[in-house]
Structure 1
Amino acid sequence: MKRKSIQWLFTALAASILLFIIIDYAAAQWNMSEGHDVNAVDDEGNIKIAAVGDSITYGSGLSADETYPVMLSHMLGNDYWVRNYGVRSHTAMSSANLPYINSPEYQESLRFHPDIALIMLGTNDSKNINWNGPVQFREEYETLIDTYVSNNPDTRIYLMTPPKAFNIPEAEGHIDDSNVNEIVQVVEDIAADRSFDLIDIHQLSLGNSQWFDRDGIHPDKEGARAIAEEVYRTLGLEQ
């Protein structure tokens, strides 16, 4: 009986160790999955930052450690909690094919009640299947922004212009840089008119096409780092 008890104890211990290894491996795989960033820190006492955006924020083609929100988190340190709410292919406009406002990440970003919202949308709105001109874009983009303002009036809004599109738009569903230019102007106008902070990623991207060599749209690791550094510099003005 004693031998059976010892065998049962060793079997249970081995099973517990195996379960721990499986859970630890699964967690590591999730954290390293493309573009997702949930910092393993408590938000108590930390300044919460929501990185809102499309695949450029999400980090398509990059590992988790290479996305701009993760790099920004490392730059800012333990007093900040940065969460990545980027969603691939989504748009600022609610009338477009994939509105950000319809995504689960949008709802999660509101529940996060961020102290700072970094909003970089517009790249996918530039597709001719979505684009209906700057007036409509401004109206629908401001509606999205206002949901963050009303959700938490203390949230500080930072509008980020989308980077230049270096692709060649060969079909209606492709991102169109001529429309991106109009979007950039609208974002700049909203920031000026409503006293939001502006982070000019479009200007940053000009002359740096090497960051977008993969497809002309998504930055590589160095491009993501440059975006994080630009955001860091802007936030640093408050320090």
Structure 2
Amino acid sequence: MKKITPNHCLFFVFLFIQTAVVAQKAVRISCVGNSITAGSRLADPKTEAYPAQLQQLLGGGYVVKNFGVGGRTVIKDCNRSYMATPAYREALKSEPDIVTIKLGTNDSRLPYRLQIDSFMADYKTLIRSFQQLPTHPRIILLLPVTSYLADTMRQTEQAIAKLIRPRIRQVAFEEKLELIDLHSITTGMAAAFPDSLHPSAAGAAILAKRVYEAVINKGDAHYDIFKKIKSPFTVSSFYGYDCADFTFNGRKAKIVKPRRTAEGRPFIWRARFWGVEPQTEIALLDRGFHVVYCDVAELFGNAAAIAAWNKYYAFLQRAGLSKKACMEGFSRGGVYVYNWAAQNAAKVACVYVDAPVLDLKSWPGGKGSSKGSAKEWDTFKKDYGYTSDSAAVTFKGNPVDKVAQIVKGGYPVLHVVGDADEVVPVSENTAIFEQKMQALGGNIQVIHKPGVNHHPHSLANPTPIVDFILKAVGRS
């Protein structure tokens, strides 16, 4: 046996100390931005600005530095360029492990919006200046918060929506960078923006919490589900994320992948109306979910539709996604989602449906207060082998007829409905379904939108929906 000398002991002590120092090294986060990052209009920016509140949430393992400068733009060739500031130069010297960039709001105002054609190139220049640092930091782009300004010369919501958010998303798509949508989570929160543009301390807390979630949920940046797709596919941008379009068993299919896949590889399965009111899906992509779709549009949830989805689910399992799907159905998509879930309870994490059709006699049948749709009623009858209305109205394969199976499945369900829905009346669909669920002890939540008809679907601020889904997959 080799003798251990005092020098060996000193070496091991040194190695232990060195390892401990490395292990204890704080993660350095540099927050680049404008006045909202800087904390303008707050009583104490050093404690109330979103970077300061982010530091409070993260604690001692992190060092968060605020490099926000009021009134600054992404656009370089102007008198308010962020890249011309001392704060920018200091940020480059800060040795960051993570860089958050919250710029673009000021580029939407006059006169800077007149130079909007240079925005994307200048944004990429800014991003690459951080990417080239020796620390090779993780870059996270933050979409601008909602603006409540009315002066069209300034940073209005309309200008930001038209000129800024799409360009930031395109930059994220082209550069393959993470995104955080601060716009949707600040929608409908005018009280949190006292001057209609800058958040209060409570508003800044919302931003800090969302960035905190992204920082601590590091995810897997290497998992790539596209490598599991065997058929040819094309890739396009889905609000800044990579979307693969391909054919699966003769049907159109889509998969959108996040930049960093969340633990457990959760996913949300859109049943119908791809791309309509996608704010929930965008929010979940930001959090590491995949979004999947397989078109069975003309089958009204019949046996052929269920069989097609069973095969698609099997493919998703081979590709490595979670064993339990978060199901999402708008309007008639409610029939598809619940019919599949009723037969596949062990494969369902939760169900979110929006203005859902739950009794086909109501829509498209028009056998109640709804006008229905003669064309779609004929399609339904063909799908289920009915040759007459008198036979079709005896159909017992609706979600309202399967509540016992659904309750037995044990998964939570969320309905979002417009109380003034004339197309798919709540009284003929969700109200009946809810009563039956409650009678059997089912886990159902219904969000009512007073005065809203069938459209618009979803919620402008999807936070309640997102929170429901996160809780269902154990990430609340």
Q: Same fold (TM over 0.5)?
A: yes
- The yes-or-no answer on 1:98 pairing with 2:80 is yes
Task: State TM-score, norm by structure 1.
Answer: 0.77
- After TM superposition, give the deviation of residue 151 of structure 1 in Å: 2.5
Partner of 1:127: 109
CA contact (8 A) 1:110 1:151 kept: yes
Q: 1:134 & 1:90 partners in 2: Cα distance? A: 14
CA shift digits 1:123-157 (9 cap, x unpaired): 11111200136542111111111111122462110
CA shift digits 1:88-145 (9 cap, x unpaired): 1111110233000010000000000200000000111111200136542111111111
Is the deviation greater in 187-196 or in 123-132? Answer: 187-196
Partner of 2:41: 61
- Which consecutive segments of 4 or more residues in structure 1 shift more than 4 A? none
- The yes-or-no answer on 1:81 pairing with 2:63 is yes
Structure with max Cα Rg: 2
The SS at the match of 1:141 is helix
- The yes-or-no answer on 1:232 pairing with 2:212 is yes
Amino acid at match of 1:190: V
The SS at the match of 1:131 is helix
Partner of 1:187: 168
Q: 2:155 & 2:74 partners in 1: Cα distance? A: 14
The SS at the match of 2:112 is coil
Q: 2:78 & 2:104 partners in 1: Cα distance? A: 11
The SS at the match of 1:164 is coil
The SS at the match of 2:179 is strand
- The yes-or-no answer on 1:142 pairing with 2:121 is no
Amino acid at match of 2:214: T
Q: Give the gaps of 5 or more residues in structure 2.
A: 1-23, 220-476
The SS at the match of 1:71 is helix
Partner of 2:242: none
CA contact (8 A) 2:35 2:69 kept: yes
More strand by share: 2
Distance 1:219 1:120, change over 3 A: same
Amino acid at match of 2:122: E
CA contact (8 A) 2:39 2:48 kept: yes
Task: State TM-score, norm by structure 2.
Answer: 0.39
Question: Identity over the aligned pairs, expressed in percent?
Answer: 32
Partner of 2:92: 110
Partner of 1:10: none
Distance 1:98 1:50, change over 3 A: same
Q: 1:165 & 1:97 partners in 2: Cα distance? A: 23
Partner of 1:198: 179
- The yes-or-no answer on 1:168 pairing with 2:150 is yes
Q: 2:202 & 2:71 partners in 1: Cα distance? A: 22
CA RMSD of aligned residues (A): 1.6
Q: Give the gaps of 5 or more residues in structure 1.
A: 1-43
Amino acid at match of 2:204: A
What pairs up with 1:1-40 in 2 under 5 angstroms? Answer: none
More helix by share: 1
CA contact (8 A) 1:95 1:130 kept: no
Partner of 1:211: 192
Amino acid at match of 2:89: Q
CA contact (8 A) 2:96 2:135 kept: no
The SS at the match of 1:91 is coil
The SS at the match of 1:119 is strand
Is the deviation greater in 176-185 or in 81-90? Answer: 176-185
The SS at the match of 1:166 is coil
